[in-house]
């Protein structure tokens, strides 16, 4: 983390001579805002009301397309020592744990089973406690680990967006049924 509070990320690679000897290190520094810009620019392609989030290996939010205020927050920290250790390692801001931790009850089970199932249902609103909702009352998410880093990209689809085509088709079927019924009644009366 930079002195001004902005998040900075270093990517480093060994520079080797033609003979294979290490001659130095290539260090590329980005501000964390680059990930937010990339995610926000590309999230429009996902569809209306669909949002995306980039998480690091500790479930720290690096970018969020629809809620940038969540950047640099940790989702569902596993224990009370995690946040202080991440602050010491300069991976989180020097704030109190209650200002850094976000509860997203539906996300942890989905991320834990990511190797076998990439899509899952749950409550993904920040601060949302686990509820006994049925499958039609919860939002959907899909996640994928990046191949080169231990980071995860998660996309969230609200149930209203997901079910919109079904609702449109249901309305069309009801309209056609009513129309056919009226025509049948008219023919029967005629």
Segment 79-122, tens digit of pLDDT: 888 899 888 888 888 888 888 888 887 788 888 888 887 778 77
Q: In sequence order, what are the beta bridge partners of 24?
A: 15
Q: Residues 46-73: pLDDT tens digits?
A: 767 788 888 988 989 888 888 888 888 8
Structure confidence by residue, pLDDT tens digits, 19-29: 989 899 988 88
Of 43, 69, 48, the closest CA to residue 162 belongs to 48
> Which pLDDT value is given to residue 164?
65
Considering only CA atoms, give the Rg of the chain. Answer: 24
Label residue 165 by pLDDT band (50, 70, 90): low
Which residue in 7, 149, 150 sits closest to 71, CA to CA? Answer: 7
**Rounded Cα–Cα distance for residues 135 and 123 (Å):** 11
Q: Residue 128: which of 62, 43, 70, 50 has the closest Cα?
A: 70
Longest dimension (CA), the chain: 95
């Amino acid at each position: 983390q930079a002195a001004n509070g902005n998040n900075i990320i270093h990517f480093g690679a060994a520079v080797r001579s033609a003979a294979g000897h290490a001659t130095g290190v290539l260090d590329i520094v980005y501000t964390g805002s680059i990930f937010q810009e990339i995610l926000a620019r590309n999230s429009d392609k996902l569809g209306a009301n669909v949002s995306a989030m980039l998480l690091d290996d500790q479930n720290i939010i690096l970018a969020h397309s629809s809620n940038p205020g969540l950047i640099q927050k940790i989702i569902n920290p596993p224990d009370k020592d995690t946040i202080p250790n991440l602050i010491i390692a300069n991976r989180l801001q020097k704030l109190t744990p209650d200002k850094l931790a976000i509860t997203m009850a539906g996300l942890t089970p989905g991320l834990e089973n990511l190797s076998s199932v990439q899509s899952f249902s749950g409550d993904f609103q920040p601060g949302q406690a686990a509820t006994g909702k049925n499958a039609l009352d919860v939002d959907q998410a899909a996640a994928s680990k990046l191949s080169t880093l231990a980071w995860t990209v998660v996309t969230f689809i609200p149930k209203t967006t997901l079910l919109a085509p079904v609702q449109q088709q249901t309305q069309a079927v009801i309209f056609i049924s009513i129309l056919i019924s009226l025509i049948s009644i008219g023919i029967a009366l005629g």
